[in-house]
Structure 1
Amino acid sequence: MKKFWVLFALFIVPLIFYLLLTTGINNFSKLPVVTPKINDISAFSTSDKKHLTLNGKISVLCFLGDSLLERKTNALNLNEKIYKHFYQYKDFQMIALLPFGAEPKTEQLKKELGYTTNLENWHFLFGRAVDLHTFYNSLQTQTNLDSLNYSPLSFIVDKNQNLRGRTDDKASKNGLLYGYNASIVSPIHQKMVDDIKVLLAEYRKSKKDLKSAN
């Protein structure tokens, strides 16, 4: 009997612990809404004048500004840690919002990103500076775009145009995390990846519950 409990402790308990980790508490929780119903991106368009929407999509937003080649670290971090992991998920999109005039620099950046990446869901949209600031302000993050239309923060937006984040973040004032600093790897790797997984799990569970109800 003693041998059984020793074997149980050695093999079964670690297995249960592993299963709990892989399924994760996150699968049973929701990523908090930190700003409900932000503006859509109808004021912006691609270089070939196509318009996109946040509605019905899981979106990651970033603001690379006029000097985007000097800030390309943000795009490279997001590309490696976020986009490459999630771009094949249905309804996922990466959106960079940029001022008019940044198109040539954007083409350079896209070439660099495209060496190792399928960019089909990496979208670069352009608009007036005033519209960039208006849209950014709709996020209600208590931060602003700078004079070059840049922010180091990247954001998660759900299918209903709600800004998602954290309400218990120890490193943030009052625990509120609105965006993730893309200029360094750690917030992206340690927080944003996990939070997107939580949101995807939330939608999977919702879809499963809907099927069960029918």
Structure 2
Amino acid sequence: MKKTFVLVVLFVLPVVIYLFFASGVNNFGKLPILTENVPEISAIDGSVSLEDKITVLGFLGDDTSNKKGIAFNLNQKIYKRFYKFKDFQFVMMVPLGKEQEVEEIKRELGKLVDMQKWNFVFAEENKIRDFFTELKTDRKLDEHLGIPYVFIIDKDRSLRGRKNDEDEGTKYGFDASSVADLNNKMVDDVKIILAEYRLALKKNNADRQK
């Protein structure tokens, strides 16, 4: 009896654990699509595109000095961790006239990491409002055209998030002013969407080789 128990622990239990986690990856390996057909930002700035990119999208507003903490949090907790992945980028919308202030932010962040995948799109007030409205979230821009939340946009220009978040229910974005939200939720969700595309790429490559 004791020998049978030992055999079960050594051989059967690891298999059961593996199957449990394998099924978990299959069931929870995709972030829900919350909004489809997010507008292509290249219509505003031809040098930046959402198509075929995994994008962290944010709205800094015109009070950029008060958004430095948010930019720093994102840079440290998300960007530094993932920017080396192919097709990953940051896009921040900023009102026209704030170019000099943004350059200062870029200089400060650039002391910590390569800024090549940080993109800043400068636009008129109405274009920023219209673009944000098309995200169809439960959030609103403040009077400065900014918001502390950032959003994950996939390669097909769909906004990804959570439908059953334990705190918010439907979770459209992540509070960049909260290190806890970035660490405990956004890091995981970025990992999921990157893994989703890696698995799809491997499957496509395998299918071509058949």
Residue 125 (1) aligns with residue 154 (2)? no
Measured in 2, the distance between the counterparts of 1:151 and 1:117 equals 24
Aligned identity (percent) is 42
Residue 209 (1) aligns with residue 200 (2)? no
| RMSD of equivalent CA atoms | 2.4
The answer to whether the 8 Å contact 1:35/1:139 transfers is yes
For this pair of structures, how many residues does the alignment match? 207
- What are the superposed Cα offsets for residues 149-173 of structure 1, whole Å, 9 maximum, x if unpaired? 111110000000000000111211x
* 1:62 aligned to which of 55, 58, 64: 58
Measured in 2, the distance between the counterparts of 1:24 and 1:116 equals 39
How far residue 19 of structure 1 moved from its aligned partner, in angstroms, is: 10
Measured in 2, the distance between the counterparts of 1:183 and 1:108 equals 20
Pair 79,8 (structure 1): closer, same or farther in 2 beyond 3 Å: farther
Unaligned ranges ≥5, structure 1: none
The answer to whether the 8 Å contact 1:156/1:164 transfers is yes
How far residue 53 of structure 1 moved from its aligned partner, in angstroms, is: 0.7
Measured in 2, the distance between the counterparts of 1:51 and 1:16 equals 50
- What are the superposed Cα offsets for residues 96-122 of structure 1, whole Å, 9 maximum, x if unpaired? 110001111101111110111100111
Matches within 5 A, 1:36-185: 36-45=36-45, 51-172=47-168, 175-185=169-179
The answer to whether the 8 Å contact 1:27/1:202 transfers is no
Pair 87,9 (structure 1): closer, same or farther in 2 beyond 3 Å: same
Q: Secondary structure at the match of 2:90?
A: strand
How far residue 37 of structure 1 moved from its aligned partner, in angstroms, is: 1.1
The structure that is helix-richer by fraction is 2
- Aligned residue identity for 1:164: R
Unaligned ranges ≥5, structure 2: none
TM-score normalised by the chain length of structure 2? 0.88
How far residue 4 of structure 1 moved from its aligned partner, in angstroms, is: 8.1
Measured in 2, the distance between the counterparts of 1:202 and 1:156 equals 14
Pair 187,12 (structure 1): closer, same or farther in 2 beyond 3 Å: farther
Measured in 1, the distance between the counterparts of 2:193 and 2:12 equals 30
- Aligned residue identity for 1:193: V
TM-score normalised by the chain length of structure 1? 0.86
Measured in 1, the distance between the counterparts of 2:15 and 2:69 equals 39
How far residue 31 of structure 1 moved from its aligned partner, in angstroms, is: 0.7
Report the more deviating stretch, 104-113 or 154-163. 104-113
Pair 106,20 (structure 1): closer, same or farther in 2 beyond 3 Å: farther
Q: Which residue of 2 aligns with 1:25?
A: 24
